[in-house]
Amino acid sequence: MIPRMTALLVLVLVFGVACTRKKRDRLVFQNKGSDTMVNLAQGWAEAYRELSKDAAVAVTGGGSGTGIAALLNGTVDIANSSRAIKPEEAKKAKEATGKDVVGSVVALDALAVFVHKDNPLKEASLEDLKCIYGEGGKCEKWESLGVKGVAGCSGGEIIRVSRQSNSGTYQYFREAIMGDKGDFKLGSRDMNGSKDVVDLVEKTPCAIGYTGMGYLNPNVRAVCISKSKGVRCVLPSVETVLDKTYPIARELYMYTLGEPAGALKAYLDWIKGSVGQKLVSEMGYVPFRKAK
């Protein structure tokens, strides 16, 4: 009879060898970051898994800032970000690792402004959004935007739905709407993810929120946005992002520490190629290059 401790040791060794062999058969890259991009990144990962015997990709969200921090800490291979990396983040990476952060634009996106499907607000200017969300903005009720009688919205108060500060969407919206030195006013409902923003607006007639246009569903409506009052408004779409007429569109990035090589480079090249960019369109985002 094998002694109990010896048997346990044999089991541990067998299990360890099995795990090592499984990892050796297929590399698993860790990919973390932007909640705006998480559905797209999962779509890429699932499609690539069917094509590649050498590498798989594990995708998690958490926000652009969280993904970039994980990259700098060496706990992920790819950081997804809906904003450009900040100079101080790139500097920190160089000092800590001796490597430059290398980024690729992998898709484009319109930052849509959503209201409940029964809200009569059809259009808003960037000035209106600043009045609603910005520090010092006076727009607290829907009537200040000329909207009266929002069904199910007693008191007519505007409920501002936003993202948490580690979100690239939050930071992009702040800069695009409030400017470099502006900030959000207090009192918004700050959500962890893009889907959470849309879910709350869908259930709250008084609410307004913002996130990537890929999260549009039949129970919310995208507001037509103009650069300034009196100028023709534009709805978010593939066409208006590509022709740059939609005022709040942006690039979506994937970042690595140093130049990607081997299986990691092959994956990123596939994303930027025709098949990966076709998936971008299919999932409601905007390809940065025309898919064949």
What integer pLDDT is reported at residue 113 of this predicted model? 98
What integer pLDDT is reported at residue 185 of this predicted model? 95
Q: Residue 237: which CATH number?
A: 3.40.190.10
Domain assignment present for 69 = yes
Mean pLDDT of 62-88: 94
Total tally of structural domains belonging to the chain? 2
Contacts of 262 (CB under 8 A, 6+ apart): none
pTM of the model: 0.82
pLDDT of 292 over the 90 cut: no
Domain assignment present for 287 = no
What integer pLDDT is reported at residue 5 of this predicted model? 36
Range of the domain at 121: 110-249
Which of these, 255, 257, 261, lies nearest to 94 by C-alpha position? 257
Domain assignment present for 266 = yes
Q: Does one domain contain both 114 and 131?
A: yes
Report in angstroms the alpha-carbon separations of 8 from 4, 13, 14, 17, 19.
6, 9, 10, 14, 17
What's the pLDDT band for 49 if we cut at 50, 70, 90? very high
